[in-house]
Chains A and B, each alone.
Chain A
Amino acid sequence: MGSPPSTMTAMPVPQPRGPLSEQIMHALTGRGANLIDTLALAKTTAPAGVLLDEDVQISLLSLYELHYRGISGVSDRWEWDPDLLAVRGVLEQRFETEIRDRTTVPGLPGDGDIAGALFAMTAPQPGPSLSRYVAQSASIEQFREFLTHRSIYHLKEADPHTWAIPRLGGSVKAALVEVQSDEYGGGRAERMHASLFARTMRAVGLDDRYGSYIDRVPAAVLAGVNAMSLFGLHRRLLGATVGHLAAMEMTSSLPSRLYGNGLRRLGYGADATLFFDEHVEADAVHEQIAGRDLAGGLAKALPDRAHDILFGAAAGLMLDDLAADHLRSCWERGAGSLLPEPR
């Protein structure tokens, strides 16, 4: 069985969520826009902050998508358009500043054990969590919402961290390739994690086409996906990409078991749970390679990247919490966590 044909499609054009994204979509779809005005707007919009601003986050997501599979009907030339890149640069600078302001980065370990520091940062915490709630209590509607949020990343799972491969060498590069190769199914498209996620989506009756739910996912979730693209596309942030990947792997195995349990509780079989079952086993391997060989190896080879490794990990955890808090706070008050369907 090969991968479904939908896996090569571009993202649909997102609905604008405010004046900034409206101008950007106008430009991208050839309806004309003055990108000098857009640049000025990017500097001043969302004065209270860009991190949770719907207009800014959908704008960033769209601008980043030009570097992945592109947006349906949008010319590939926009990817390297200097005026559009200037807009992205302004938004990124504001976004990165806010991420750093909200992130508490632990000090570098005295013994240089970056892997140990990462495992300590990601150690399982007792108490309520999204994964425990999903395992024990989530309705199928809530599980579909959860998958809908996650689809923005998981249908391109591993891609943002792959940007780091050509920036590394030697054993550190080999470690990243070892992890990514497994993420991409080891040469078998049907085992690619993005393909397994699409299978889970189909099993619960969701549309697995790339980006099909882009208009339903709020800034609280998009911010985490955009941070991965920010880290991945800037070689300056190589350490952050590596730390982000390590933290992601280290916080995956145990929750994945719980998410799988949630699906089993709701009566779904292996077809639906395979994505999560696979992550229980795979990420127990990946967290060791990513923590020790990749992050530990990078910190040893390039000590000036060590702080950013911990920053990337801490930022990823902070943004994960932000997304999880959004879901749980909506569900606790009996509300849905998705944006309304666009009219």
Chain B
Amino acid sequence: MDATPHLAALRPTPAGMSAIGAGRDGIDEGGNEEQPDTPGGLAESPTLITVCPDGPLLVRGSVRIVDTDGTAIPQTRPTIALCRCGKSRIAPLCDGTHKMSRSLARSADERRGDQNPSDPA
């Protein structure tokens, strides 16, 4: 059922929020109940990367991204989306341009069968 590659098993869990439950739409189920607590209280969780079917990679947690010159790309929000289609105009971040393409590369975790994502509902 869950063919998603687990690039990271843990997701950060802010204080007071439960990590127990259905997981994130089944995408990153498994392993996320293990939250090693630090003496200070909040768990120091590894950065979590979630594969979005037909979409970007969602990155939660601390990362450092540099461009080809080694210049750091500023990270302005705790969760970012990294482009997987190669067409984003703000690459390496996602800008939703993948939705313009009718011939999306099918990812291994595609769950929608042959339905064309651009078909009108």
Query: Which of A's residues lie within 8 Å of B, judged by CB?
Result: 106, 111, 113, 115-117, 119-121, 123-124, 169-175, 177-178, 181-182, 186, 191, 253-254, 257, 280-285, 287-289, 292-293, 296-297, 300-301
- Chain B: minimal CB distance from A342 (Å): 39
Q: How many A-B residue pairs have CB under 8 A?
A: 111
Q: In the complex, what residues of B have CB within 8 A of residue A169's CB?
A: 18
- 8 Å CB contact of B81 from A172, A186, A285, A297: A285
- 8 Å CB contact of B96 from A173, A175, A284: A284
- Chain B: minimal CB distance from A31 (Å): 46
Contact B55 A288 (CB under 8 A): yes
Give chain B's interface residue range (CB within 8 Å of chain A).
35 or more
B20, closest chain A residue (CB): A170
Q: In the complex, what residues of A have CB within 8 A of residue B120's CB?
A: 120, 123
- 8 Å CB contact of A288 from B58, B77, B100, B113: B58
Bound Cα distance A280, B81 (Å): 11
Bound Cα distance A282, B119 (Å): 25
- Chain A: minimal CB distance from B24 (Å): 5
- Chain A: minimal CB distance from B118 (Å): 5
Contact A281 B93 (CB under 8 A): yes
Contact B79 A285 (CB under 8 A): yes
Contact B17 A254 (CB under 8 A): no
Contact B115 A285 (CB under 8 A): no
Q: In the complex, what residues of A have CB within 8 A of residue B19's CB?
A: 171
- Chain A: minimal CB distance from B13 (Å): 8
- 8 Å CB contact of A119 from B22, B54, B93: B54
- Chain A: minimal CB distance from B73 (Å): 11
Bound Cα distance A280, B78 (Å): 16
Interface residue B112 (Cβ < 8 Å from any Cβ of A): yes
Q: In the complex, what residues of B have CB within 8 A of residue A257's CB?
A: 89, 95
Contact A120 B77 (CB under 8 A): no
Contact B112 A113 (CB under 8 A): yes
The residues in B between 65 and 85 inclusive whose CB is less than 8 angstroms from any CB of A are 76-81
Interface CB pairs A-B, < 8 A, 8: A119-B99, A170-B18, A171-B18, A171-B23, A174-B18, A178-B78, A254-B95, A285-B77
Bound Cα distance A280, B94 (Å): 8
Bound Cα distance A173, B120 (Å): 29
Contact A253 B96 (CB under 8 A): yes
- 8 Å CB contact of B25 from A111, A170, A280, A297: A297
Q: In the complex, what residues of B have CB within 8 A of residue A293's CB?
A: 24-25
Q: In the complex, what residues of A have CB within 8 A of residue B43's CB?
A: none
